[in-house]
Amino acid sequence: MTTSTEVGKPSAAYTAALPSWGMVEALKGGTAAMRAARETFLPRHEAEREDAYKVRLERSFLFTAYARTIELLVGKAFSKPVTPGDTVPENLKEFFKDIDLAGTDLHTFAAQLFEAGLDEGVSYILVDLPNTQPATTLAEERQAGVRPYWSLIKASSVIGWRVVIENGKPVLDQLRIAESAVVPDGEFGEKVVQRVRVYYRDGRWQLWEADKPQQGQQARAYQLVQEGQLTLGRIPLLAFYAKKVGHMEGRPRLEDLAWLNVEHWQKSSDQNHILHVARVPILFGKGFEGAVEVSPNTLVTAQGEHADLKYVEHSGAAIGAGQTDLDSLVDRMAALGVDMLIKRKATSGTADATATGKAITESGENSILGNLARSLKLTLDAALALTAEWLKLDATQAGEIDMDTQLGVPAADKGDLEVLLKARMAGEISAETFFAEMQRREVLDPSVDYDEERQRIEQEGPALGMLGMGGNADGTDPSDDPDAPEEGAAAAGARGALP
């Protein structure tokens, strides 16, 4: 059996991005996740004992500004349904009721893809076929009832890749995807198995499974357990970039907000600690011999001329300054969230020359959120075309996805929106009140029903995360537009199990 210790080794680019992704993951995990991270986000004071640090940590509570802002932005971007357009062939429309073969409809899948892109800077769609055997031709796949599905791939699952340049454009030559799977262990137990899928430009794919690490072993060994070849001859991957920093590389779109949220976590911890100290005065005494009994029914006497007994209390000046600093941080975080929603006019002198840039210029104005929604639509349209290609249909006749991309509010309404967002983030107004005020200002479509929207949110399940297996791939950038979808080649057989 073929063995490798290199297949699971992450690339330098992946390793460089991990701290940013880890910060976002911890912030979205709430207070429990931030406490579990310990000194990563809450440094220990000099000479602070472990027991004292643990007490301070347990008195720290996260203000969930980042997670709430992402929730609000995704909610705004998907306040209207995402549906296949009228020009989409009827046989393709049926796929969108269960686009990933895990019960996820198009609207929910698109929202999860969008959220993943915001969190990590880039997210992917792999348009794949189930790993059925022994079908080896398209005709056999159709006869077996196999149909294409979309798999959502998080950037944090892509641990390495190799790129070659063809006709001046980067093309993936090899791609490695890390994944985990829960498998039976004995009659009733279960265990988590670490795997790596390797995809090649010629359509080959491999599945490697990790052995148990041996004592003293520096690198985990992987065994090759499965391999195959795709009938399409290449693997189509589409990339949605929210913040592109390089080919196959992204960073959290709201990384600045995330750092401010970490700063708030640290300073609010200090504030809680100083409040605790201030609320517990210290009894100070001098001039007494032996122990002194202190109680409401006891008289304390002293013989010494300079004897004294009193409480030492904090003046409280630092408490007020600390609270002012925290309030300022909340304002700055809210401003970063609101900035995503403010519409700005695009001019010929400022807009880029890409297809996305030209469309934005022609529309007159749009917000950052609206521009990202437009980029997402391009990715979904490209995935639709690739789905048609799997079925040997004319990809140019696949149609388009219907999605609202004109999002945001005029700059004149920025002040009101900041006040509302800060109030909602602080829990000072209810979600329903916030929803109503957003509708009154036409930030949300007045036809959207609050109760129905809450049901949609509940149906989306927990915060986005890739569970189980997830195939992936990549290839050539269709243009130099950093917001354009990216199509490529790497392999398959696995699929992402979405929550």
| 313 confidence band (pLDDT: 50, 70, 90) | low
Query: Would the pLDDT of 123 be above 70?
Result: yes
Q: Are strands 401-402 and 83-84 parallel, antiparallel or unpaired?
A: antiparallel
In DSSP terms, 308 is beta-bridged to 286
- The rounded distance, in Å, linking the Cα atoms of 347 and 362 is 9
Closest CA relative to residue 405, chosen from 385, 377, 445, 365: 377
- The rounded distance, in Å, linking the Cα atoms of 156 and 162 is 16
**326: amino acid identity, one letter:** L
Distances (CA, A) of 106 to 87, 98, 335, 398: 16, 7, 31, 16
Query: Would the pLDDT of 267 be above 80?
Result: yes
Which pLDDT belongs to residue 144? Answer: 53
| 489 confidence band (pLDDT: 50, 70, 90) | very low
Which pLDDT belongs to residue 146? Answer: 73
CA dihedral 366, 360, 406, 331 (to 10 degrees): -30
Q: Measured in whole angstroms, how far is the alpha carbon of residue 200 from the centre of its chain?
A: 27
Query: Would the pLDDT of 262 be above 80?
Result: yes
- List pLDDT tens digits, range 324-356: 888 889 989 998 998 898 887 654 444 444 444
Which pLDDT belongs to residue 379? Answer: 95
Which pLDDT belongs to residue 452? Answer: 83
- The rounded distance, in Å, linking the Cα atoms of 42 and 28 is 16
| 105 confidence band (pLDDT: 50, 70, 90) | very high
Which pLDDT belongs to residue 307? Answer: 80
Query: Would the pLDDT of 234 be above 50?
Result: yes
- List pLDDT tens digits, range 399-419: 999 999 988 777 656 677 777
- Contact in structure between 30 and 52 (CB atoms under 8 Å): no
Interacting residues of 495 by C-beta distance below 8 A, sequence separation 6+: 100, 101, 102, 128, 130, 131, 149, 151, 469, 470, 471
Which pLDDT belongs to residue 411? Answer: 63
Most confident of 70-84, 138-152, 210-224, 436-450: 70-84
Query: Would the pLDDT of 443 be above 50?
Result: yes
Query: Would the pLDDT of 257 be above 50?
Result: yes
- List pLDDT tens digits, range 40-76: 999 998 888 999 999 999 999 999 999 999 999 999 9
In DSSP terms, 84 is beta-bridged to 401
Among 319-323, 349-353, 451-455, the range scoring the smallest mean pLDDT is 349-353
Query: Would the pLDDT of 19 be above 90?
Result: yes
449 vs 118 pLDDT, higher one: 118
Per cent of the chain over pLDDT 90 is 42
| 482 confidence band (pLDDT: 50, 70, 90) | very low
| 110 confidence band (pLDDT: 50, 70, 90) | very high
Query: Would the pLDDT of 427 be above 70?
Result: yes
Cis preceding-peptide flag for 134 (omega within 30 of 0):
yes
Which pLDDT belongs to residue 24? Answer: 97
Query: Would the pLDDT of 141 be above 90?
Result: no
144 vs 56 pLDDT, higher one: 56
- List pLDDT tens digits, range 176-193: 999 999 999 999 999 999
Query: Would the pLDDT of 16 be above 90?
Result: yes
Task: Write down the mean pLDDT value for the chain.
Answer: 80
218 vs 299 pLDDT, higher one: 299
- Contact in structure between 301 and 307 (CB atoms under 8 Å): no
**362: amino acid identity, one letter:** E
Which pLDDT belongs to residue 348? Answer: 45
Could you give phi then psi for residue 437, rounded to 5 degrees? -65, -35
229 vs 316 pLDDT, higher one: 229
Among 185-189, 261-265, 452-456, the range scoring the smallest mean pLDDT is 452-456
